[in-house]
Structure 1
Amino acid sequence: MRDIYRGVAVLAAVAAGAAALVLVLPSGPDEVAAGPVAAPSAVPSSSGPAAPSPVPSSSAPAASPSASPTATPSPGSSLAPGYTAMQALYADPRVPRLTAEVKRMRLTRPAKRYVKDKRTGLAVPRLAAPWKAHGAAPFTSKQVLPRTRGAALRGLFVTCPLPIQEQDKPRDTALLAARWTLNHHPKGSRITWLASQPVKRGWLLVYRVTYRKHQSRAAVVVVDGGMSKPGLAFVTVPDTQRKQWRDIGRVVSGVRALG
C-alpha cells in the first residue's frame, strides 16, 4: 500500500507541472507570452454593429471643421456639424461659384412710385400693371403677376428682413440669400449667375433659375435699411411671363434704404 500511495503522489506532481506549463506557454506563434494586454476601447457585442476602427478610411472625411477651419467640402458632399454657412454654400451643387467673369448690369432710371416697407427699412418700386399688390404674409410686402393658365408659377416680388445669417461681406450675404430663394422655385432648380455688383449699403445679384424644361429670371438685393437685420428684396418671373423679365431691371435699380 505504501508503494501505491507513493506512485499516486508522483503522478499528481507530474500533472501539476504540466498544468503550469500550459499556463505559461503561448498557444500560438502570434501571441505574446509575457506582459499585460490592454483591453480594447470598445468591444462589439454579437447582437450589435461592430465598433468603428480608429484608423480613418479613404472614404471618410479628412478632418472635421474644428480641426481644419479652412477645409471646404466638395460640391454635393454631406456636411458635418460645424461647417460655416459659406462652406455649406460652396458645397451646394445647385449654386455655382461667383467668378469675376460675371459682369455688372446697367441700372435703369429709379422708379417714380415706391412701396415703403418700414419693417425692413426699404423702399422698393411699385411695379405697373399687370403687377398688383397682394397679401404680404409671410413677407412684409408682396407684388404678384396674374396667374397664367396651365402654369404653376407666376411672377413674385417681395421684401422681408434677411431670412439667413448675415455675413461680414455684403456679397456673401447676397449669395446666401440667392441660395435661400431656391425654396421658392421648383425642386431641383439650379442657378446661373447673370450679374453681380455693389449697391449703396448692400449688394445685388441677378440670375437664371433652371428647372426641368423651364427657367425663371430672378434677383436679390440685400440692403442695410438701418434695422436689426438688413432688408431683402427678391423678385422672380417664370418664362411663361417672360414679357415681364424687363421689370427685374426696374426692381434692382429702385431698391433703396428709407433712411
Structure 2
Amino acid sequence: MRVVYRGLAVIGAVVVAAVALVAVLPSGPDEVAAGPVTAPPAAPSSSGPAPSSEASPPSAEPPSTAPSAAAPSSAAPTAPTATASPGSSLAPGYTAMQALYADPRVPKLTGRIKRMSLAAPSRKVVKDARTGLAVPNLSRPWKSHGAAPFTTKQVLPGTRAGRRGMFVTCPLPIMRQKSPRDTALLAARWTLNHHPEGARITWLASQPVKRGWMLVYSVKYGKHQSRAAVVVMDGGMSKPGLAFVTVPDSQRKQWRDIGRVVAGVRVLG
C-alpha cells in the first residue's frame, strides 16, 4: 500500500508541475504575435519619422534660408538696369564746360571777338572786403542799394518796364576753372539768371585783365536787349571775385558806364 501511495504522490506532483507550467506559458498564439507589435523597440522605429516631421519648423529653416540665399543671385541681373538709369551713365565726365558748350543761349567765343579800349579807372571806388576787389563808385543816376544776396550793389532808377541797370559784386557763384577765360564764360552764362526768360548772349569784347578776365556782351530777349559785362578777378580770397553789370535798352544812355566798370575793377590793396 505504501508503494501505491508513493506512486500516486509522484503522479500527483507531476500533474501539479504540468499545470503550473501551462499557467506560466502563453495561453495561445495571439499573445506571441502581439508581443513584437506592442514591444517598446517597435514604437521608436515606427514613430521615429513622426517626431522629425513634427519638428519640421526648425528643420524647415534651411529651405526658408535657401530662397534668401538665392535672392542676391536673382537680384544680380537687375543691378545693370539700375546703373543704366537715365543720367547715371552721363554723369561721369560731364563737366560745367560741356554744359556751357551745349547751351544754345551762349555762342562759342571765337578769336574774332575784339578787345575794347579801356577808359581810365575811376578814382572813387567801393571796397568789397569779401571779394578782395575795389570797383568804381558810379556817379548819378547810379546809387547804392541793399546788396543782398550780393556783397555790393549799385542800381539805376526804376523804369515802367520793370527793368533797370544793376552793378554788383560777389564771390564767384560758379565753379572756378583752370582758365580765367573759361571761368568768365561760365560767369556770363550764370548772369542769364538775372535777365528775362529766353535771353541769349552775343559777344562784344573779350580780353585778359590783371589776375583775371573780362567779357562784354549784349543780351537779347524778345524785342529788347541789355548790355552787360563780367569781370572775374582773383582778389586773394578763397574764391575769385565777380563784378557784373547789366543795363537795359530803356536806359541805353548808361551803356557808356559799362566801359568804366570793366576798366575800374582792381584788386583791393
Counterparts of residues 74-93 of structure 1 (less than 5 Å): 80=91, 82-93=93-104
Q: Shift of residue 160 of structure 1?
A: 0.1
- Would you say 1:120 and 2:131 are equivalent positions? yes
Q: How many residues align?
A: 192
Mapped to 1, the partners of 2:164 and 2:93 lie a distance apart of 37
Query: Which residue in 1 is equivalent to 2:150?
Result: 139
- Would you say 1:191 and 2:185 are equivalent positions? no
Mapped to 1, the partners of 2:210 and 2:117 lie a distance apart of 15
- Would you say 1:201 and 2:190 are equivalent positions? no
Mapped to 1, the partners of 2:174 and 2:181 lie a distance apart of 13
Residue in structure 1 matching 2:234, options 217, 224, 234: 224
Query: Which residue in 2 is equivalent to 1:254?
Result: 264
Measured on the aligned residues, the alpha-carbon RMSD in Å equals 2.2
TM-score normalised according to structure 2 size: 0.67
Report the AA paired with residue 245 of structure 2: V
Residue in structure 2 matching 1:158, options 162, 168, 172: 168
Determine helix, strand or coil for the equivalent of 1:209. strand
Q: Shift of residue 165 of structure 1?
A: 0.1
TM-score normalised according to structure 1 size: 0.70
Q: Which has the higher helix share?
A: 2
1:97-154 deviation per Cα after TM superposition (whole angstroms, max 9, x unaligned)? 0000000000001101000000000000000000000000000000000011x21210
**Structure 2 regions of 5+ residues with no counterpart?**
1-73
Fraction of identical pairs, as percent: 76
Greater radius of gyration (CA): 2
Mapped to 2, the partners of 1:81 and 1:172 lie a distance apart of 20
Query: Which residue in 1 is equivalent to 2:249?
Result: 239
Determine helix, strand or coil for the equivalent of 2:231. strand
Mapped to 1, the partners of 2:139 and 2:236 lie a distance apart of 28
1:33-63 deviation per Cα after TM superposition (whole angstroms, max 9, x unaligned)? xxxxxx9x969xxxxxxx89x9xxxxx99xx
Residue in structure 1 matching 2:190, options 176, 180, 183: 180
Determine helix, strand or coil for the equivalent of 1:108. coil
